[in-house]
């Protein structure tokens, strides 16, 4: 969550500082709030930092720069009738280089070696564009060199031939054949570039700007290994004498929730618990913290529901696995070390056996360490 501050001033002198200019208003926001706004455009009022007087409205638009550098060049390379450098054949491989600004050639990629093959078909090449281009380099400005070599085990490798071309020439012709040059030999064969294309790799902001919405579900660990809420050593402890005290669960909910909440348009989040003993004596592994409606408004709503529920339900000592339940969206699971270790092991086994329910899900584990060992928390992404 990157905080941003926008200060609007009326400059009416020639000094280099804004301290002696009239301040019209200020807006404090976050990068996530801007990115999560409709069309990544945020409009808000600005107010004088001291008096609070309305100073107008500011509109901020978020745009990406150089998104093409996240794309990937896809290339299939094959040799055609390569020259024989050994007795009956050659053991070819190729090296891809680019021409730097100072005129030197920089190695980008070395292919695998294909033994005894004069018409080799090399593995597909996927090269990130940020390895090829800089922010001020165009396709037409970038020169590439493909060198085809014959591998030898005990002597120096032999150059079969090379060819040079621009990136624009390469990507503008999906199927291109270039003769290999070698001043020592007239016939060296050719190199073929097939199915050449630049594959678009979409960024997180691309998805957000095109209507993708993140839905967060919060599930809190109510197992007994956390410790009873009245014990100061408990991860669920609430200090009755300090209203500003935040236990480890509150820290996690605020830390992660304040980032994800901006990407949900209605800010309504379902909040559940697992591993608690219900009033009827049954253990529940999935229960809403607010029985009448699991959805709450914003981070404050999550914390209010959590604080009310932690004293309402009894923490259960033993824990059964939750692997039979289906998880969708981004599922934030707050749990302690013992519970996390047990469940990660079970989930990994189920994943290997392909027994997890479909479709693919994202589960965000938030690991809470015992207070005497650490007062911090760690996060682990696990794509299942």
- Whether the pLDDT of residue 34 is over 90: the answer is no
Query: Tell me, what's the pLDDT at 41?
Result: 82
| DSSP assigned state of 320 | -
Rounded to an integer, what distance in angstroms lies between the CA atom of residue 232 and that of residue 267?
32
The residue ranking higher by pLDDT, 136 or 197, is: 197
Query: Tell me, what's the pLDDT at 110?
Result: 94
pLDDT category at 383 given cuts 50, 70, 90 is: very low
Which tens digit of pLDDT belongs to each residue from 261-272? 877 878 899 999
CB 137 within 8 A of CB 144: no
Query: Tell me, what's the pLDDT at 136?
Result: 67
Query: Tell me, what's the pLDDT at 363?
Result: 45
Query: Tell me, what's the pLDDT at 94?
Result: 96
The residue ranking higher by pLDDT, 178 or 346, is: 178
- Whether the pLDDT of residue 379 is over 90: the answer is no
End-to-end CA distance of the chain, in Å? 25
- CA angle at 49 for the pair 47 and 53, rounded to the nearest 5°: 40
Query: Tell me, what's the pLDDT at 2?
Result: 72
Average pLDDT, the chain: 79
> Which fold does the domain 68-199 belong to in CATH?
Immunoglobulin-like (2.60.40)
Rounded to an integer, what distance in angstroms lies between the CA atom of residue 239 and that of residue 192?
71
pLDDT category at 177 given cuts 50, 70, 90 is: very high
> Which fold does the domain 213-383 belong to in CATH?
Rossmann fold (3.40.50)
Rounded to an integer, what distance in angstroms lies between the CA atom of residue 274 and that of residue 222?
6
- Whether the pLDDT of residue 304 is over 90: the answer is yes
| Mean pLDDT to the nearest integer, 303-332 | 65
Rounded to an integer, what distance in angstroms lies between the CA atom of residue 52 and that of residue 46?
9
Q: Write down the pTM of the prediction.
A: 0.50
The residue ranking higher by pLDDT, 142 or 319, is: 142
- Whether the pLDDT of residue 3 is over 90: the answer is no
Query: Tell me, what's the pLDDT at 135?
Result: 61
CA distance to 73, 128, 153, 203, 232, per residue, from 200 (Å):
9, 10, 40, 9, 52
Which tens digit of pLDDT belongs to each residue from 148-172? 999 998 999 999 999 999 999 998 8
Which tens digit of pLDDT belongs to each residue from 219-272? 888 888 888 888 998 888 999 889 889 998 898 888 888 878 877 878 899 999
Residue ranges of domains in the chain? 3-61, 68-199, 213-383
- The residues facing 10 across adjacent strands are 22
Measured in whole angstroms, how far is the alpha carbon of residue 42 from the centre of its chain? 23
pLDDT category at 121 given cuts 50, 70, 90 is: very high
Rounded to an integer, what distance in angstroms lies between the CA atom of residue 112 and that of residue 227?
56
pLDDT category at 125 given cuts 50, 70, 90 is: very high
Which tens digit of pLDDT belongs to each residue from 74-113? 999 999 999 999 888 999 999 999 998 878 898 999 999 9
């Amino acid at each position: 969550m990157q905080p941003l501050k926008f200060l609007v001033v009326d400059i009416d002198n020639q000094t280099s500082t804004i301290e002696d200019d009239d301040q019209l208003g200020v807006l404090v926001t976050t990068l996530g709030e801007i990115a999560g706004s409709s069309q990544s455009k945020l409009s808000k009022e600005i107010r004088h930092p001291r008096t609070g007087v309305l100073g107008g409205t500011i509109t901020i638009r978020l745009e990406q720069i150089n998104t093409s550098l996240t794309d990937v060049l896809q290339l299939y390379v094959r040799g055609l009738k390569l020259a024989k450098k050994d007795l009956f054949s050659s053991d070819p491989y190729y090296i891809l280089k680019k021409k730097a600004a100072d005129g030197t050639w920089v190695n980008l990629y070395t292919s695998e070696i294909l033994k005894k093959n004069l018409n080799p078909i090399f593995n597909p090449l996927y090269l990130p564009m940020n390895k090829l281009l800089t922010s001020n380099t165009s396709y037409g400005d970038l020169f590439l060199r493909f060198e085809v070599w014959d591998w030898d085990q005990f002597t120096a490798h032999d150059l079969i031939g090379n060819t040079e071309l621009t990136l624009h020439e390469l990507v503008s012709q999906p199927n291109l054949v270039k003769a290999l040059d070698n001043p020592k030999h007239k016939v060296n064969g050719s190199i073929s570039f097939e199915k050449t294309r630049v594959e678009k790799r979409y960024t997180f902001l691309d998805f957000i700007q095109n209507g993708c919405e993140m839905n967060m579900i919060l599930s809190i660990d109510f197992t007994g290994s956390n410790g009873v809420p009245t014990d100061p050593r408990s991860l669920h402890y609430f200090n009755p004498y300090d209203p500003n005290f935040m236990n480890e669960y509150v820290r996690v909910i605020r830390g992660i929730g304040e980032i994800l909440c901006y990407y949900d348009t209605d800010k309504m989040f379902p909040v559940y618990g697992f591993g608690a003993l219900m009033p009827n004596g049954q253990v529940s592994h999935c229960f809403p913290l607010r029985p009448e409606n699991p959805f709450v408004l914003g981070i404050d709503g999550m914390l209010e529901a959590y604080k009310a529920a932690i004293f309402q339900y009894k923490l259960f000592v033993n824990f059964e696995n939750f692997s039979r339940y289906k998880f969708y969206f981004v599922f934030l699971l707050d749990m302690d070390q013992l519970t996390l270790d047990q469940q990660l092991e079970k989930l990994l086994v189920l994943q290997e056996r392909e027994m997890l329910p479909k479709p693919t899900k994202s589960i965000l584990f938030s690991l809470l360490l015992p207070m005497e060992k650490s007062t911090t928390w760690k996060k682990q992404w696990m794509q299942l």
